[in-house]
Chain A
Amino acid sequence: MLNFQELIQSLLNFWGQKGCVLQQPYDVEVGAGTMHPETFLRVLGPEPYKVAYVEPSRRPADGRYGENPNRLEKHHQLQVILKPPPADIQNIYLESLAAMGINLKEHDIKFEEDNWEAPTLGAWGVGWQVMLDGQEITQFTYFQQAGGLDLFPISGEITYGLERIAMFLNDVDNVYDLPWNNEVTYREVRHRDEYEFSKYYFESADTVLYFRMFGDWERESQRLLKEGLVLAAYECCLKCSHTFNILDARGAISVTERAQIIGRVRSLAVAVAKAYVESRKQQGYPLLRSASGEVANHAL
C-alpha cells in the first residue's frame, strides 16, 4: 500500500520514464495545476512538450477549518501534459494506475464524459473524469483553447487528485487519516495549515489590501507585457487570480463586481497568451527542433 509520498514518487517516476520533464510546483499560489506556466504557456503554439509535476492547489473557498474529511483549501494535483497526445494515451494512463499497485482486473474503471472550462484563463477542453469503483480519481482533458487561442497541436492533460487516490489506496474515509509516510499522518503534516488558512481566508484577510493589490498586480502585468517580459507578466496575472479567490472567499465581491473582475483576469491571460506565442515565434520555436536537429513533424 502506497502512502501519500510514495504515491507521488511512483507517479513522477512513471511519467519521468515516459520522457516527461519532471518539473517542480510553481512557487506562486495557483488554484490548479493548469495555471502553472508549464501547462498554461507550454500548451500554446506549435512546440511539443511533455511534463509532469505536483501542484499544491489553493482554493480558499473550499477551506473547512480542517473539519471536513474530504474538502481542503489546499489539495495536491499531479499534473501531466503530453503535447501532442500519443494515440495510446489512455492506455499509458491505465499503466500509470497499475504502477500505483492497482490491479485493474479487480476494479471497475470508466471514462465518463466531463468537459473542462476555465473562464479566467479563456480555456476549455473536452474529456472525461476517470472513475475507479465509482470514485473520480483523474480529470482527463484534450485542450482545445487556452488564452482564447485555438490550439494546435493540442495537448492531453491528465490531472490526478492525489488525496483522493491515496485515500482509495489506503482505504481511509478521512483525508487526515492518510499516512503521509510511514511515520506521520496527513493530519500531523497539514491540519494546522488548513485551520489557519481557513480562518485567514474567511475571517481575517485584509480586503482593502487585497483590492489594492489586485489593481497593482494588474497594472504591473500590463506594464510588463509592454516591455515584452511575458513570463513575469503571467506571474502577475496569477497573483490577480489568487487575490480574486481570496476576496471571493471573504465574501467581499458583489455580484456585479464578480463578473467584471473575472473579465479583467481573463483579459490579462489572453494578452499574455498572445504575447507568449509571439515571443516563442521570435525565438524561433526552440523546442521544434528534435534531438537530431531536424524540424519535428509537429510544425504544421
Chain B
Amino acid sequence: MPSEFWMEIGCEEIPARTMARSLNDLRDRVERLLQQEKLTYDRVEAIGSARRFVVRVPSMAERQESRSERIMGPPASIALKDGQPAPPLIGFAKKNNVAVEQLQKFTTDRGEYFGIESTIEGGTASDILMKGLPAIIQSMTFPKMMIWMDPVQRFSRPVRWIIARLGSWWIPLHLFGVDSGDYSEGHRILGSGRVVVGSYDDFLVKLQQNFVIVSQEDRRKKIERELNEEVGRLNGRIVGDERLLEEVVYINEYPTIVRGRFEERFLELPREILITVMKEHQKYFAVEDEHGKLLPYFLAVMNTASDPKGFIRKGHERVLRARLTDAMFFWEVDRKTSLEDRRPRLKTIVFQEKLGTYADKVKRVAKLSKKVNTLTKAKVDKAALEKAVQWSKSDLTADMVREFTDLQGIVGGLYARHDGASEEVWRAIYDQYRPQSLDDRSPETKSGAVLSIADKLDTVLGCFSVGLIPTGSEDPLGLRRAMQGVIKVLLDHKLPFSMQKAAGDGFTPQLKQFYEDRLRFILGQRGFAYDEINAAAAIGCDDASETLNRAEAIRRIRSSADFEAVSIAFKRIKNILKQAEQSGESFEGEMSTEGLEPAEGALLAFLDGAKLKIEKLERGRKYFKILETMATGRPVIDEFFDKIRVMDQDPPVTRRRLLLLKSLLATFSRVADISEIVVNKL
C-alpha cells in the first residue's frame, strides 16, 4: 500500500540567499535516492524557510518491487551426459549451494543453458530511507559551511531537530547529534516552543497556528498581496526587485508588511541612492508614483504578525533616517571634491596585490580602451573616452561608495555629471560595471560599452598574467562573470571585435580557451544547440558578434532538407579527405580539368559560381545567404557521389577528385563547419 513520506530538518537561520537552491538540491537528492532504490513514487516536493527544510512525497511504495535474478551456469550441451548431470553442472550447483534438481534450463540468444532463477524480495521503504537519508543530508553542500557539535560534520548552520515519517511510522534518524522526533518548532517569538505533530497535514496546520507559513509560495503570495494593498493606498507602485523579494520570502517565517515614511527632504537624493539604501541595507521596498517618481515611503517585511504599538514601524523609520542622513551628508560633502581632484588618492587603494593600485588600473584601462574603441569601430570621441577612463575609479575614494559599495560607478556617473562632464562621459562612468550578470542590461551608450569592455577585459588579462586563473568551481575574483560581461556587451551592441588583437601578448592558449568557453556558454544560454555552437565556433570565435551571426544563420537554415543533405555530404567529404591524407595521398596544387566526367564538371561549375558569390556575400556578412547558396548545391553534390568513385585506379584522377572536394570544403567552410551539424534522420 502506498504511503506518504515527509521529513523536516530544523535549523538555526540558514542564509536566505541560498535557500531556494538548497531546497531544490535536497529534493533532487531524495528523488535520486528513490529512483536508485527503485521505490515508486508520485512526486517529490520541497518547501521551507530559513529555519526548516521540508521534503514530502505524497505517495510512495512501502517496499521495492520484488525482482527475479538469474545466475547462468554451463550450456546444456555439456551439462548433461547421457541424460545425467555431468561434472560442470554438478560443480555449478555445488558452488551456488543448490540441489542439481533445482536448476532450470533457459533458452538464450546463444543457445540453451542451465541456471538458477530466484526471486529477490524488495527491501522496505522504511529501511531504505533510514539508511539513505542521513547520507544524502550530510553530503549537502552550501557556499559557506560550519562545524558545531562534531569536528568533521558540516552544514550551513546548526541542525536542531529532525522529523521523518513514512505513513504512520516515525523513521528513526540520527544526524548531526540530533535524534529525530515527533516535534517541530514554531515561530521563534510567537510560537509556543516545541510543537508535537502527527501527519503532514497536521504539521502544516500546527505550524500555521504557531505562526510559521512553511510554504515559500504561500509566504510570497502573502507578501505580494500586502505590498499591493499598501501601494494601492498610496496610489503608487512597488519598485520591483525579484532578488529582494526572494530574500524576504526566505528570511521571514511569518512575513507581514509594515509601511514606513521618511522625510520629503531626502527625496533630493538621486533615486538610485535612495533605492540602494532602502534595498541593499534595510531590505525595504521602495515605492514610486505612476510617473516613476519615488514617494517618501518604504515597505518593510517584518517577521511577525502585527505591529500593535507601532514600535516596529518607528524603529525601521529611525534606522532609515540615520542611513539617509549619512547618505545626504556624503552627497553634499563628496561633491565638494571633484573626481579629477580625487584621482591622486587612487594610488592608496589596492586593486589587486600583484596588479597594483587603482591608479595603475586606470593607466592600463586608458590604453586598452583606445584599442577597444578602434576594434569595435564604436567611434567614441577620443577626448570623451579618455576623460571617462581617467575619472572612472575616482568614486572609490568617495564616502558614499565606501558606505554603499553597490553604488560604485553609479555614484561616479552622478558626480561626473555634477562636475560638468558631457553625457557621453558621465553615462560611461555610470554604466561601467554593467552588466553585472547575464540578466543585467548592458551599458546604454557606446562610450559606456567601450569602458565596460576595457575595464572587465583588463581585470581578466591582468589576473591571467599573474597566474590568477579560475579553476573548477573556484573563481574568487569573478573572472568568468567579467569575461561574460565583455562578451555580452559586444553581442548586445553588435560590435565587431578581435579578442586576439585586444589581448595582444596576453592571448595565451589558456586565455583563448577561457574566452571560447565563456562564449560557448553564452550562446548556449541564448538557446543555441551544441552542434550549432560547434559548427559556428569551428570557423573562429575571435569576433563574438560574428560567431553569433553565424550560429543564427545555421539555426535558421538547419531544418531545410537541402541543407541537411549537404551537411551529411560534408561529413562524407571530410572523412574521404581524412582517409586519403592518412593513406599518404598528396593532393596539393592546381587541379587539372582534362577529361572530367559530367558529374565532376557539374560540381566544378557550381563551385566556381558559388565561390564568387560566397566571397561577395562574405564581405557583406550575409551568412544566411551563404548557407542558402551552399544548400543549392545539393543536386550536383548528390549527383557527384552517385556517379563518381573518388578513389580511382588512375592516381592523377584520384588526385583531381580529392582537390575538387578540398576546394569545395574550403569554400563552404566560411560560415561554419557544417559537418558538425547533427542530423537526426540518417
Contacts and interface: CB of A to CB of B under 8 A. Distances in A.
Interface in A254-277: 254-255, 258-259
Nearest to A156: B148
A134 B319 contact: yes
Interface string B613-632: 00000000000000000000
A69 B357 CA distance: 33
B315 A135 contact: yes
B252 interface: yes
A268 B146 CA distance: 26
A109 B251 contact: no
Given A105-B189, A115-B144, A254-B348, A133 B151 contact: no
Contacts of A125: 146
Given A113-B15, A133-B312, A134-B316, A104 B189 contact: yes
Interface in B285-312: 300, 302-304, 307-309, 311-312
Contact of B312 (A107, A112, A150): A107
Contacts of B307: 106, 108
Interface string A44-81: 00000000000000000000000001100000000000
Contacts of B189: 94, 104-105, 109
A299 to B, nearest CB: 13
Interface string A153-173: 010000000000000100001
Given A110-B252, A134-B282, A173 B321 contact: yes
A173 B322 contact: yes
Contacts of A255: 347-350, 357
Contacts of A152: 147, 151
A120 B314 CA distance: 39
B353 A85 contact: no
A139 interface: no
A133 B303 contact: no
B235 to A, nearest CB: 25
A90 B15 contact: no
B523 interface: no
Contacts of B151: 150, 152, 300
A142 B146 contact: yes
Given A255-B350, A300-B151, A135 B17 contact: no
Query: In terms of DSSP, what is the predominant structure of the interface of chain A?
Result: mixed
A133 B315 contact: yes
B29 interface: no
Contacts of A126: 144-146, 157
Contacts of B17: 113
Contacts of B322: 69-70, 173
Interface in B580-635: none
A134 B189 CA distance: 16
Interface in B361-392: none
A143 B282 CA distance: 26
B303 A109 contact: yes
A132 interface: yes
Contact of B188 (A69, A109, A132, A173): A109
Nearest to A128: B13
A107 B311 contact: yes
6 contacts: A87-B158, A105-B189, A108-B300, A135-B319, A142-B148, A154-B148
Interface of B: 12-13, 15-17, 50, 144-149, 151, 157-158, 160, 188-190, 251-252, 258, 282, 300, 302-304, 307-309, 311-312, 314-316, 318-322, 326, 347-350, 353, 357
Given A106-B311, A107-B311, A135-B315, 5 more contacts: A106-B308, A108-B302, A133-B319, A255-B347, A255-B348
